[in-house]
Amino acid sequence: MTLKHISEYRDGEICKEIAKKIHVISQKKIRLMEVCGTHTMSISRNGIRSLLPKTITLLSGPGCPVCVTTPAEVDQWVKLARKKEVIVVTFGDLLRVPGSESSLGAERANGADIRVVYSPLDCLRIAQNNPGREVVFLGIGFETTAPTVAASLIEAKKSGLKNFSIISNHKLVPPALFALLENQKVKIDGFICPGHVSVIIGGQAYSSLVDKCQIPCVVAGFEPVDILQSIYLLASQIEAGRAELKIAYRRVVAFEGNEKARDIMYQVFDVCDRRWRGLGMIPESGLELKEEFYTFRAEERFDLSVPDAKDPPGCACGEILCGTKSPHECSLFGKSCRPDQPVGPCMVSSEGTCAAYYRYQQ
Amino acid sequence: MCLAVPMKVLEVEENVARVDIGGAGKTIRLDIIDKRPEVGDYVIVHAGFAINVLDEKEAEITLGYFKELFAHDSEAH
Ligand code: SF4
């Protein structure tokens, strides 16, 4: 597949030119946070840090949905997977996230019926093909994913599917950014905002953050040129003492976002308070099914109550997700915690901060 | 997890499109996209759903902006 322009967005010469410009303008010591796992991975893979002046530190925030799941959420999935009548359907990344005593992967090895899908729509087919079983989808992900789950639920309702339900662990990005800025321990001078979340919510979603907190926000794409451009746009604002919203990924993101997708999402979900790993309870940062869709709420069909659970001992994921520690500052990093045997969720998905550091920067 | 990939549209039907991904065909859904893609467009696909059409004009504008930025530079020097 030849995609027009893609080579330009990966062009090493353009990258070097932008990096040069960044070196010229950068005076102040600043800390920029990316809030998307795909950015985290691209920054590590393309060695972006090595192109930047010492004045600029890049932090990875709570931008990977796998990393911000709480141990209690994982314990709920495990409890569900242990029910004989249930088929758990999930995105692949979730299999290895450790809960307080097990993981979906371990349950699958013990015989639980856990199936990995690419699209939430696949669940409907699984449910139709297994009329005697209960099919439960683990709804995790940010604003990019939630509309796809919502569209699938609308279809399930239309077709009168009875043996299908979901657990909604969906989370919303902008409230987490507000929460990070309120956390006094974290000093952040600008946000590299997530490209594909922003396809749905639009650049507009960060306007109040920029206005209220006087923090520059740049929506960025995922190629190295995109990321360097957004760092340049942030650094130049900060040097000039300005805080503005910029979209540096206009080929994909509009200021208004995708209103149709948001409408579908809010046809099915209401906003609720939600607990994030590392950040704790954040008001209005999650999505729960609306009453009209309660028949699809797994909690209505099964007892999924679990006791409060703690993070794995020694794991610094919480601090890493807030930008107060880097993976190298975790005593388990690269020792007992590695991608082949993750202790914490940041080492699970290839988009997790610890996994990206391990893979590209050892 | 929010990974979304551009795929070229081969055929558009009511609520689905056939797309090309690295030479293989694939059907994706158009439920949540707010613009109707045309054959030949690239759509950005996440979890089996098109979420937007890639705007090639904007892609060129951004690249043009870099050229301007660098040209400016060499003039100044
Ligand atoms: S290295 Fe492992 S244990 Fe340490 S913070 Fe990262 S994921 Fe957690």
**Contact assignment for A264 to B32 by CB distance below 8 Å:** yes
| CATH assignment of the domain containing A152 | 3.40.50.11740
Domain B5-76 is found in CATH 3.50.50.60: no
CA A198–ligand 1 middle distance (angstroms): 28
Has residue B74 got a pLDDT over 60?
A: no
CB A343 near ligand 1, within 6 Å = yes
Q: Quick check: is A272 in a domain?
A: yes
Helix (H) or strand (E) holding B73: helix B56-76
pLDDT in tens, A232-284: 999 999 999 999 999 999 889 999 999 999 999 999 999 999 999 888 999 99
Query: Sign of dihedral through CA atoms A269, A273, A275, A280?
Result: positive
Structure confidence at residue A38 (pLDDT): 87
Compute, in angstroms, the gap from residue A188 CA to the centroid of ligand 1: 22
Compute CA A32 distance to the chain's CA centroid, rounded to the nearest angstrom. Answer: 17
Q: What stretches of chain A show up as alpha helix (H) in DSSP?
A: 6-9, 12-25, 37-45, 48-51, 71-81, 104-109, 122-129, 146-158, 173-182, 195-201, 207-213, 224-239, 259-268, 298-301, 317-322, 353-361
What part of B 30-59 touches A (C-beta under 8 Å)?
31-34, 42, 44, 46-49, 51-52, 54-56, 58-59
**A280-289/A269-276 β-pairing:** antiparallel
Q: Taking 50 as the threshold, does the pLDDT of residue B76 lie above it?
A: no
Phi, psi (rounded to 5 degrees) for A290: -70, 160
What are the boundaries of each domain within chain B?
5-76
Give residue A323's pLDDT.
86
In this prediction, residue A9 carries a pLDDT of 77
Q: How confident is the model at residue A351 (pLDDT cuts 50, 70, 90)?
A: confident
Give the domain range for residue A292. Answer: 71-172+258-301
- Name the more confident of A310 and A31: A31
Higher pLDDT, B56 or A283: A283
Q: Tell me the pTM.
A: 0.92
The ipTM is 0.89
Q: Is pLDDT at A106 greater than 60 in this prediction?
A: yes
**What is the pLDDT, as a whole number, of residue A318?**
87
Contacts of B18 in chain A (CB under 8 A): none
In the β-sheet with A56-60, what is the strand arrangement from edge to edge? Answer: A56-60, A30-34, A190-193, A217-219, A245-247
Residue A10 banded pLDDT, cuts 50, 70, 90: confident
Averaged pLDDT, A169-187? 91
Q: Is residue A86 in some structural domain?
A: yes
User: What is the tally of structural domains in chain A?
Assistant: 1
**Residue-level pLDDT at A3:** 63
Per-residue model confidence as pLDDT tens digits over A36-65: 888 888 898 889 999 999 999 999 888 888
